Chains A and B, each alone.
Chain A
Amino acid sequence: MLASIVKINGYNPFKALMLREYWENRRAIFMTPLIITGLSMVLIMISMGLFGAAIHVDGNSFTLGEIIDKMSAQDAEELSRNINHLLLASSVPIMIGVWFCMVFTALGSLYDERKDSSILFWKSMPVSDFQTILSKILTVTVVIPVVAICFTLIFQVFLLIVGSFYTIGTDYSAWNLLWASTNMPMLVINEIIYMAMFSLWALPVFAWFMLASVIAKRTPLLVATIPVALLALVEGLFFHSEYLIRFIGMRLMGAHILKNEGGFGSSFSSFDPSSTMDIIRSAGDPAFWIGLSIAAALFYGAILLRKRSSL
């Protein structure tokens, strides 16, 4: 099935554009989460196998045995909540890696093609700038996160399997303790909602990155950051406010997904999302829609500029 999705059969411009993005950004889309997942698995196996070892949760360290002891003492509801939270938190390393992939893919999206002048090849094909840019937006804000979620799923199942092995030879039942307490579909749905809402809140920032990438003569990162830094400085000096930095920082760091206002930046260790309902409700915030409008305007600008920049 996958093979038929990733195969071109005849005229299908948008599919071809999306595949093109995958070919170009294979590292960001696939290799990065693959490597992080692989490394995490190896680290877990080493730490468990070799050291029998301690796992750090909220600054305290436990051996897995201790955790299982503790867990089995909990009632079913608490156990389930803790396990699901643990599994959710286990996806944080992948999500952090993928966050960087999203940022840098956006920054390179319309710059790389000008740098290697392949833009002239793309423009020799009957594809509109709108379609091209749409394929790039979707790659950054949908494809990369969705692939990442697939990897987190694999990693979570791996954790459950490893945990199950650990109960062999003990009185605990892996089924009761781990599998029955885990609500996998719910976990996946939650992660999809987190990712979708994160992408939507952060869309104006990614749109800005793409605009910077279409403008930049070199180093899109600087083009994206320096004007913002200057504006923020002016804002701070003359208005004594920090609205711009908060606008960008909160959206980019997922502050609307996490309970903590600082987002990822201030709470690496304790991944503590708001309740899913709260996250969905945040779409009722006018700021959410203002952000999407700004994103639309920035994308429109990027389309116009790409239309003009033949070299």
Chain B
Amino acid sequence: MTNIITAHNLSKSYGSFQALKNVNMTIQKGQIVGIIGANGAGKTTLLNSILGLGAYDGDLDVLGFDPYSQRDEMMKEICFISDVATLPKWIKVSEAIDFVEGVHPSFNRQKALDFLAGTSVPLDKKVRQLSKGMVVQVHLALIMSIDAKILVLDEPTLGLDIIYRKKFYHQLLEDFFDEDRTILITTHQVDEIENILSQVVFIRDGELVLTADMEDISNQWMVLNPAPENNDAARALSPVSEQSLLGRTSFIFNGRSRAELAELGEVSRISLSDLFVTLMEGASS
């Protein structure tokens, strides 16, 4: 596998506030990587550094480019949607297609038109006249018709209703993703993306807390719902956290074998949101 993003001691400060603290990570080709963290944890700062939108300290290599100084060349290989509302209000859909065709060497106009033909988006209308969902469809049509190696999505579905969100991720997988491409994605709706991710990065206060493949996570982390009489036995296995809800207690374990836990009760895989909460709480206590 090839590393397409390598960060070494990546740091970024805004005045005295350190948004990123010596981040080290590698991301390989063909992954869908979720970057998960609380508000202000440094997700957007990390993505902006990768996109060359800001200067940083440390080493960062994206597809062999230095993102900040070689941004113009690098952007031929990277697409990003930072927020759905970034399409200018005054542009017509057809003009937006023209523009991207003009500035992007690997844009496929027909693909974008085909994509939009499957929607109710009118090409001669301005973005300001479209509904929020339509604007996302336009932006997505533009981005997915670019033959890019990396796609960065920073809260791409912010402000959209559940139907559009589902559709968005569906189209992303169906029409864009293949093993030559890599997708980086941040969102607060962790549960909606957890089954499309292949890798996950947890970030807290500018530091990476955990970087793991989804597969490793489901092998490592487990939720046990023991029969009530087994609660003490479960506690003896030193769970990472314990939660009681409506008289049922559940425990989260890290690195225990499934067989060992199954003796005490029902074992299930951990959801990303539970893992997220566990990691964040575990760190603060």
| Residue ranges of A at the interface with B (Cβ–Cβ < 8 Å) | 7-8, 10-13, 15-17, 19-20, 23-24, 113, 116-121, 123-128, 308, 310
Q: How far, in whole Å, are A113 and B72 apart by their CA atoms in the complex?
A: 19
In the complex, whether B89 has a CB less than 8 A from a CB of chain A is yes
Is the C-beta of B105 less than 8 angstroms from some C-beta in chain A? Answer: yes
Which residues of the other chain, B, contact A118 by a CB distance below 8 angstroms? 86-89
Residues of chain A with a CB closer than 8 A to B92's CB: 23
Contact A11 B82 (CB under 8 A): no
Interface residues of B (CB under 8 A from A): 48, 51, 53-55, 71-76, 79-83, 85-92, 95, 98-105, 107, 139, 143
Complex alpha-carbon distance, A17 and B91, angstroms: 13
Can you give 7 A-B contacts (C-beta < 8 A)?
A: A19-B98, A20-B95, A24-B91, A116-B88, A120-B82, A124-B79, A124-B80
Say what secondary structure dominates the interface of chain B. Answer: mixed
Q: Are B48 and A310 in contact (CB under 8 A)?
A: yes
> Of all chain B residues, which has the CB nearest A130?
B72
Indicate whether A12 sits within 8 Å of B102 (C-beta atoms), given known contacts A24-B90, A124-B81, A310-B48. Answer: yes
Counting from the closest, the 4 A-B pairs by CB-CB distance are A16-B102, A310-B53, A126-B75, A118-B88
| Least distance between A157 CB and chain B CB atoms (Å) | 32
Q: Would B86 and A20 count as touching, CB distance under 8 A?
A: no
- The contact of A19 among B53, B71, B99, by CB within 8 Å, is B99
Which residue in chain B gives the minimum CB-CB distance to A310?
B53
Asked if A125 and B104 make an inter-chain contact with CB atoms under 8 angstroms apart, the answer reads yes
Residues of A within 8 A of B83 (CB): 117, 120
Q: In the complex the two chains form, is B72's CB within 8 Å of A126's CB?
A: yes
Nearest residue in B to A117 (C-beta to C-beta)?
B86
Contact A123 B104 (CB under 8 A): no
A125 to B146, CA, bound (A): 10
- In Å, the complex CA distance between A99 and B71 comes to 36
Contacts of A8 in B (CB 8 A): 98-99, 101-102
Tell me the smallest distance from the CB of A75 to a CB of chain B, in Å. 54
Give the docked Cα–Cα distance between A10 and B81 (Å).
Answer: 23
Q: What is the bound-complex CA distance between A65 and B72, given in angstroms?
A: 64
Task: Please judge, given known A-B contacts A23-B95, A118-B88, A124-B82, whether A308 and B55 are in contact too, CB under 8 Å.
Answer: yes
Cα separation A174 to B178 with both chains bound (whole Å): 74
In whole angstroms, what is the CA distance A183 to B184 when docked? Answer: 64
Q: Are B53 and A116 in contact (CB under 8 A)?
A: no
Structural contact, A116 and B101, CB atoms closer than 8 A: no
Contacts of A113 in B (CB 8 A): 88
Q: A124-B82, A308-B55, A310-B54 are in contact. Are A10 and B88 (CB under 8 A)?
A: no
Q: Which residue of B lies closest to A7 (CB)?
A: B98
- In Å, the complex CA distance between A16 and B79 comes to 18
Query: Would you call B102 and A11 a contact (CB within 8 A)?
Result: yes
Question: In the assembled complex, which residues on chain B have CB atoms less than 8 Å from the CB atom of A16?
Answer: 98-99, 101-103
How long is the Cα–Cα vector from A7 to B97 in the complex, in angstroms?
11
Distance between Cα atoms of A16 and B105 in the complex (Å): 12
- CB pair B76 A20 closer than 8 Å: no
Docked Cα-Cα span, A54 to B245, in Å, equals 91
| B88 & A126 in contact (Cβ 8 Å cutoff) | no
Q: B63 to chain A: closest CB distance in Å?
A: 12
Closest to A15 in B: B102
Is there contact, CB below 8 Å, between B75 and A124?
yes
Q: Are the C-beta atoms of A126 and B98 separated by less than 8 Å?
A: no
Q: Is the CB of B82 within 8 A of A13?
A: no
A20 to B94, CA, bound (A): 12
- Cβ A13 vs Cβ B91 within 8 A: no
Partner of B85, one of A19, A117, A125: A117
Contact B72 A11 (CB under 8 A): no
A12 — which chain B residues lie within 8 A by C-beta? 102
C-alpha spacing A13/B82, complex, angstroms: 22
Kindly provide the distance from the CB of B40 to the nearest chain A CB, expressed in whole angstroms.
15
Q: With contacts A15-B102, A124-B86, A125-B103 known, what are 18 further pairs, Cβ within 8 A?
A: A10-B102, A11-B107, A13-B102, A19-B99, A20-B99, A23-B95, A117-B86, A118-B86, A118-B88, A120-B82, A123-B51, A123-B75, A124-B81, A124-B82, A125-B99, A128-B72, A308-B55, A310-B54
Closest to B81 in A: A124
Q: Roughly how many angstroms separate A134 CA and B206 CA in the complex, as a whole number? A: 37
A19-B98 Cα distance, complex, nearest whole Å? 9
Distance between A308 CB and nearest chain B CB, rounded to angstroms: 7
In the docked arrangement, what's the CA distance between A278 and B154, Å? 57
